[in-house]
Amino acid sequence: MPSDAHCHPFDMKGSQPNAEAERNALNLTVAASSWNGDELYYHKELAQQAAHVGGPSIALCFGVHPQLPLVEPRSVRASLESMYQFAESGVLSAIGEVGFDLYNEAYQSTEPMQDELFILELELAKARGLPLVLHLRRAMHKVFTYSKQLAALPAVVLHSYSGTYEEALALRKRGIAAYCSFGTTIALNHRKTMRACALLPQDMLLFETDAPYQPLRGQPYSTYRDIFTVVRTAAMLRSEAGCMPYTEEELHQLNDDHFKRIFFQTSS
């Protein structure tokens, strides 16, 4: 079964009104990211509908997005309170996406608040035994700052991984159960990301679409079907590098196994 480790179904409603029908047709299991109650409840409803008809599962994820302190500062408190509420209710498969966005000076000005939020999110994930999904934009160094705390978690997903091969290995050496989730950037000639995808050990691999936010070249948005382009590209990169596994079938199976291990905490 194909899996998508990171997407935003709520945000696909306007541009892709048939997205859920497509997901079911593809038999695609997904991890749905939310930062507010409306999003979480929508994703929960989709998950319940899918379960009722035996459709592909949805892993519910919730976190205070690191861009909020800048773009919607008045929403931070409500998002934080909702995160605690949903975590305590037991509906969450992961805390996230959370982390750091230091893309420019405006975002950098909110770094102290991003740190405060991240400490709370780390503590909650540890207390609930949940994995963490990280958003890191020009902020890879922050992961190493918190490496001791991250090593205490069952899994850490580096969403839309943009670090180097060497940085990923360094995280593992620090005891972090890190999974580098690769998206459409590996099909867009991002050399650093392509190299990491080609060379990383198979137990660190994960794949995603980040739909609708990471479109392939010439497309207005990303779709669930893009997961097949991502995995096909990963297979090509790993084949060229001589790194197993490197067939599409093997990588889809590996991705699904890792997805279940992270979000549903199975032993597969």
If we measure between CA atoms, which residue out of 93, 95, 102 comes closest to residue 118? 95
In a domain, 268, yes or no: no
Q: Quick one: what percent of the chain has pLDDT higher than 70?
A: 99
In a domain, 149, yes or no: yes
Q: What is the extent of the structural domain holding 25?
A: 3-263
pLDDT single digits (tens) 28-72? 999 999 999 999 999 999 999 999 999 999 999 999 999 999 999
**Mean pLDDT value across residues 111-133:** 99
User: What's the CATH code of the domain at 252?
Assistant: 3.20.20.140
pTM as predicted: 0.97
**Overall domain count for the chain:** 1
Helix (H/G/I), strand (E/B), else coil: 58: strand
DSSP labels for 146-212?
THHHHTTSS-EEETT--S-HHHHHHHHHTT--EEEEE-GGGGTT-HHHHHHHHHS-GGGEEE---TT
**Mean pLDDT value across residues 185-202:** 97
**Mean pLDDT value across residues 202-209:** 99
| Residue 268 pLDDT > 80 | no
In a domain, 128, yes or no: yes
